Amino acid sequence: MENSEKLKEIVREKYGKIAEAVEGSADSSCCATSCCGGAESESPVDFSEDYSRLKGYVAEADLGLGCGIPTDSADLQPGQTVLDLGSGAGNDVFVARGSIGDSGFVIGVDMTAAMVKKARENQERLGYSNVDFRLGEIENLPVESASVDRVISNCVLNLVPDKARAFCEIHRTLKPGGSFSVSDVVLNGKLPEGLQKAAELYVGCVSGALQKEEYLARIREAGFSDIEVTQEKRLRLPVELAAQFLNPEEMQLFRESDVGILSITVRGRK
């Protein structure tokens, strides 16, 4: 419990600083810097996707914090109620609103007060009345049971200490027949200790990532069906960076293996 609370405080502090920084800076990305602790990378990777083509996109709300586009796989329809977990400045919320229209409703939940404040400022500027940003934690969502049609989240759940509880909360808030679409960072195989250090320098979010199969198991255990990985891409660490932490034999073994860090988008149904 103590470690969980410590991690939450670290995340709140880091994201609070991001919220107060220059809006739209890709360098603030959790998956582009070591936001979860550790040293800053000199050559950050950017897992984030280009949202500019999407209906409802608001540039001021896009802080480059994602590792996928969960709305692409969410089957959003006009009139639905959508819940976005870790909503930040509102990027995915406003994109979801572009699909569900004026007749739907979007709830964004974030545990960082500065992010909720920024999202509400964006909402006020846009004049949207069918969007609500709430301060709260994913493991204890401030959302009624069986009240939403779709749940989305982008590069956030791997920062949650109790992922089993998080997926149970997603299940609780969804209506029967509702579904989720989540983009997140996972691991494929056990990273050598040296490579783990290199990865944390290169993409800080990996420190909270589960093995891919363990991640999918948490989803199944929460009671979801029709689970599907709709997108997967691998992070390639620069050889020169890995070489700083691995000896030549370890480097060769790593190159021959399929061990790595993945960005995946997963969907499932209640």
pLDDT tens-digit series, residues 131-186: 999 999 999 999 999 999 999 999 899 888 899 999 999 999 999 999 999 999 89
How many C-beta atoms lie closer than 10 Å to residue 204's C-beta?
25
Mean pLDDT within 62-77:
92
pLDDT for 35: 40
pLDDT at position 71: 97
The yes-or-no verdict on residue 45 having pLDDT over 50 is no
> Are 144 and 121 spatial neighbours (Cβ–Cβ below 8 Å)?
no
Q: What is d(CA 183, CA 117) in angstroms, rounded to the nearest whole number?
A: 24
How many other C-beta atoms lie within 10 A of the C-beta of residue 201?
22
**Given the structure tokens 């977990």, which residue do they identify?**
85
Residue ranges of E strands in 155-244: 174-188, 225-235
Strand partners, 132: 107
Phi, psi of 267 (to 5 degrees): -130, 155
Give which of 26, 48, 45, 16 is closest to 118, Cα–Cα: 16
Judge whether 19 and 112 are in contact, CB under 8 Å.
Answer: yes
In degrees rounded to 5, what are phi and psi of residue 192?
A: -55, 150
Whole-prediction pTM value?
0.82
Residue 87 has pLDDT above 90, yes or no: yes
Report strand pairing: 148-154 vs 105-110. Answer: unpaired
Predicted confidence (pLDDT) at residue 238 exceeds the cutoff of 90: no
Q: Which two tokens stand for residue 117?
A: 């404040």
Q: What is the mean pLDDT of residues 72-84?
A: 98
- Specify whether the backbone of 37 is left (phi greater than 0), alpha (psi in -120 to 50) or beta: left
Give the pLDDT band (50/70/90) at residue 249: confident
